[in-house]
Amino acid sequence: MIYVITLSRTLPSLQGSEYQVLDCARHSETEEWMVIYRPCYGEAGLWVRPAGMFSESVMTVDGEELPRFERIGD
């Protein structure tokens, strides 16, 4: 499966927090694609999430299905 993720963009999550996608990398053992990102709040440490999980939709408490992250700005 191929994932298209825009790099160096700020993305809001369902909680309203913004994150900056820095790069994509492969897991050394599984070769699964991972997204490297940082929150635009707090200590802003680096985080990694599987690309499939990063780009999936999630269910809200109201039962609405929404993308986990959405692109904002250019």
Q: What is the pLDDT of residues 17-37, one digit of tens each?
A: 778 888 889 999 999 999 898
pLDDT band at residue 16 under the 50/70/90 scheme? low
In the numeric block, the tokens 């939709």 are attached to 57
pLDDT of residue 6: 45
Domain range annotation of the chain: 10-67
> If you average pLDDT over residues 27-55, what whole number do you get?
88
pLDDT of residue 74: 57
> If you average pLDDT over residues 41-64, what whole number do you get?
83
Architecture of the domain whose range is 10-67: Roll (2.30)
CB 24 within 8 A of CB 51: yes
pLDDT of residue 26: 95
Query: Cα(first)–Cα(last) distance of the chain, in Å?
Result: 26
